[in-house]
């Protein structure tokens, strides 16, 4: 039987694009568009934005690291809906820059979607899910410092995006790929930064 292609990632980008109206888009608008229960979608969007050219905005990597830290902590705690402090939800980004980032992301997202399918789903149950979540949490704590090393924040964001995409599409193989990539992050940062 032919495997049905997943469009979950493209659908998240569609929802984000639909929420981007006006001159600026607030984080609260993104959260409302994707839903407060959709931890994986929110983690994916923030990490994708941080891995796009928008990451060149000073402070973007640190900001995304903070948002994802809050998301992961609440996932570990087993919360049903996301809460973020107002200093995060009030932040805005230029809608034009956000739309450019979405356009830039569509091609790699379509490429990745061709290979996604539900597999190794036991990895999404406790206690197995705790290991990747704790590793991602540790990575988010390093992200403010990655602002100092060019492109290192984007590398960290791609790792988080891979994990979030695996979580969203229930593809355990992609979660494993993200963990392998996570192990390569310090090496890549060392090579690029120093």
Q: What is the pTM of this model?
A: 0.81
**Which residues are 26's β-sheet partners?**
92
Confidence check: pLDDT of 193 > 60 = no
Residue, of 141 and 117, whose pLDDT is higher: 141
pLDDT of residue 74: 92
Confidence check: pLDDT of 10 > 70 = yes
Task: pLDDT band for 137, please (50, 70, 90 cuts).
Answer: very high
pLDDT of residue 6: 62
What is the mean pLDDT of the segment spanning 54-79?
87
Q: What DSSP letter does each residue of the chain carry, written as one string?
A: -PPPPP-HHHHHHHHHHHH--SSEEEHHHHHHHH-TT-HHHHHHHHHHHHHSGGGGSTTHHHHHHHHHHHHHHHHHHT-SS----HHHHT-EEEHHHHHHHHHHHHHHHHHHHTT---B-GGGGSTTTTHHHHHHHHHHHHHHHHHTTSTTHHHHHHHHHHHHHHHHHHTBHHHHHHHHHHHHHHHHHHHHHH-
Residue, of 66 and 3, whose pLDDT is higher: 66
What is the mean pLDDT of the segment spanning 2-27?
76
pLDDT > 70 fraction of the chain, expressed in percent and rounded: 92
Confidence check: pLDDT of 70 > 90 = yes
Range in 38-42, 107-111, 144-148, 165-169 the model is least confident about: 144-148
What is the mean pLDDT of the segment spanning 78-101?
87
pLDDT of residue 160: 92
What is the mean pLDDT of the segment spanning 77-99?
87
């Amino acid at each position: 039987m032919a495997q049905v292609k997943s469009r979950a990632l493209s659908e998240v980008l569609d929802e984000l694009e639909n929420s981007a109206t006006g001159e600026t888009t607030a984080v609260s608008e993104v959260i409302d568009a994707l839903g407060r229960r959709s931890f994986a979608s929110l983690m994916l969007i923030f990490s994708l934005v941080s891995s796009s050219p928008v990451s060149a905005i000073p402070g973007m990597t640190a900001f995304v690291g903070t948002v994802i830290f809050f998301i992961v902590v609440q996932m570990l705690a087993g919360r049903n809906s996301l809460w973020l402090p107002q200093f995060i939800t009030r932040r805005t980004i230029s809608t034009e820059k956000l739309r450019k980032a979405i356009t830039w992301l569509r091609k790699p997202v379509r490429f990745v979607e061709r290979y996604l399918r539900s597999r190794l789903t036991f990895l999404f149950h406790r206690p197995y899910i705790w290991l990747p979540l704790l590793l991602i949490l540790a990575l988010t704590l390093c992200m403010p410092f990655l602002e100092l090393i060019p492109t290192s924040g984007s590398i960290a964001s791609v790792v988080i995006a891979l994990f979030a995409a695996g979580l969203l599409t229930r593809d355990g193989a992609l979660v494993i790929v993200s963990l392998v990539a996570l192990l390569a992050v310090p090496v890549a940062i060392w090579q690029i930064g120093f």
